[in-house]
Amino acid sequence: MHVLYTREQLQKRIKELGKEITDFYKPITNEIVAVCVLKGAVHFFSDLVLEVGLNVSYSFVQVSSYVGEGSTERVRVKSWLDESITGKHILVVEDIVDTGITLNYILKYFAKYDPASLKVVTLFEKHARRKVETPIDFSGFSIEDKFILGYGFDYDQKYRNMPYVGYIDA
């Protein structure tokens, strides 16, 4: 396993993202709904919301288009919002935007509920395999086309609990 980002590097960037998000929303509102895209974003979400200087309500969706190392390009919804987002400022918290298919699905669906605003933060962006361009308002890191593990990223539900992000040579 090669370490791509240490826990310290991740925490430093997440702290910066928290400030960027706070600075963006402060003139508009003091309250947002942060929607964690499970399971991959769980560690990022938990660390990020601690750095946002606003009142943050939590919500969770479990949506995926991946099996093993590859995208099926078919979105599977396992759980969805359990409260109204109409008129609220929504921040979708994603672990990685790779093909863009899953995020595009989420954004289109959320837009139907007429939120006051709909923004996206992702820890990682991978442009090499993008199939759908989606707006990303706050981005942690841009990475090459590597299959990453740790800090929420998995291979068949394993390796999520490593405190850093790494990759294995193919």
Catalytic residues: 98
Outline where 26-151 has alpha helix (H).
42-49, 101-111
The token pair that represents 70 in the structure block: 């590859």
Say which residues have a Cβ less than 8 Å from residue 66's Cβ, sequence separation at least 6: 72
Partners of residue 124 on adjacent β-strands: 96, 141
Rounded-to-integer distance, Cα 115 and Cα 161, Å = 33
Q: Which of 85, 159, 157 is nearest to 119 (CA)?
A: 85
Query: For residues 126 and 110, is the Cβ–Cβ distance under 8 A?
Result: no
Amino acid at 31: E
Sole residue written with tokens 């490593």: 162
